[in-house]
Amino acid sequence: MPDKSIKDIYINSYSAICNLGANIEQIFLNTQNRDKDFFTLDSNVIKGEPFYFGKINSNLPEIENNEKYNLRCNRILLHCAKQIEKDITSAIKKYGRNRIGIVIGTTNSGVDEYAASKDIDHSQIGNPAGFLQKYLGLTGYYSGVSTACTSGIKAFSTARKLIENDICDAVIAGATDALCRMPVYGFHSLEVLSYEHSIPFSKNRNGINIGEGGALFLIEKEKTKQSIKIEGIGETSDAYHCATPDPDGIQASAAIKEALEKSGLNPNDISYINLHGTGTLSNDLMEANAVYRIFKNNIPVSSTKSLTGHCLGASAGIEAALCCAMLDRRINPDKKLLPHKYDGLYDDILPELQLTNYGQKVESLNHVMCNAFGFGGSNAVIILGVSN
């Protein structure tokens, strides 16, 4: 029987890597650096056409003597795991190897490697989760999640269900994606891949930049002094179009409302919203409508994809990690918000949102929201908060 007494779950340790840095402290610090360009101009992904990509520039650990798991997305995941391995080891001692679950979101897995190897294991969505389970020596539940851009938040949702239903005492949840030609070609064919830096919500928007990265979270039902509380998650589906969101954002708004209801919070309790913010007209219009419907322009918002690029299945995981860092008083004692990097020319065909500036601070930073809206009409919203 599900344990109905479990109402709260907590992020007790977390890590990340992307183009902004090799750890969450460095990543958050670099979000505040307005003068440095963290994108790489590359004409080799699509031969002869230069595009900006959010590439990881750090050295990743090797996966030796295991061809099934020797994938770049797993090396990204391993990097994140090593950063919180001490906390994971403590959880294993506390709960046992069969009581810790693993849920990893991804869209690419090892599709690039599969093109060369023809090893079907390389293209399996569950490969990263299987790798992490084997690496950590766990024996319980593990699964992959692939719901396009919402995969990272869906991993949190699955983790909550596993703990609530007494399948796991703790869950290692996260997301990983490496730069991959297949989705890059796909976005190029949709004519939404930008030759310039992405500037979401600008009237001069020009499309998306693709990035890569990963994030990992240790989730438990018991909190520590440094815990980040998972306060509420909302999930809906548009059933509108395979690649274009409903411009009115009706179901996106419903996901936001569900997250608020489950958290027991009101719109004015939210200090900041991390937007999905891809920099395409269809996403900007839908999300501006969805957010404005509930919050008007009373809440500071930003899209960190203007800093990291769109990391596909890893995007919501990385953005959730950035929200954790913003709430984490060890990393962000001054209560700085994540900035919105663009040209300052807001698209006036959109409802007006309150985009953040570099260096902007707030007096109260207790509850933040992170949006994710993916292909197929998948909508997921998570609210995170300080636990004390």
Burial tier of 244 (Cβ tally within 10 Å: 0-12, 13-18, 19+): middle
Q: What's the first-to-final CA gap in the chain, in angstroms?
A: 30
DSSP secondary structure letter of residue 269? G
Measure Cα distances from 207 to 15, 51, 179, 236 in Å. Answer: 28, 11, 17, 25
Would the CA dihedral through 331, 335, 338, 343 be positive or negative?
negative
Q: Is 310 a catalytic residue?
A: yes
The catalytically annotated residue of 79, 168, 180, 310 is: 310
Which residues touch 329 (CB under 8 Å, ≥6 apart)? Answer: 386
Query: Which of 79, 122, 276, 340 does the annotation list as catalytic?
Result: 276
Residue 276 annotated to the active site: yes
114 Cβ neighbours under 8 A, 6+ residues apart = 120, 122, 123
Which residues, in sequence order, are CB contacts of 233 under 8 Å at separation 6+?
153, 156, 157, 160, 258, 259, 262, 380, 381, 382, 383
Catalytic residue, from 18, 73, 149, 168: name it: 149
Per the listing, tokens 């929201």 go with 369
Tell me the longest C-alpha to C-alpha distance in the chain. Answer: 58
Residue positions annotated with a catalytic role: 149, 276, 310
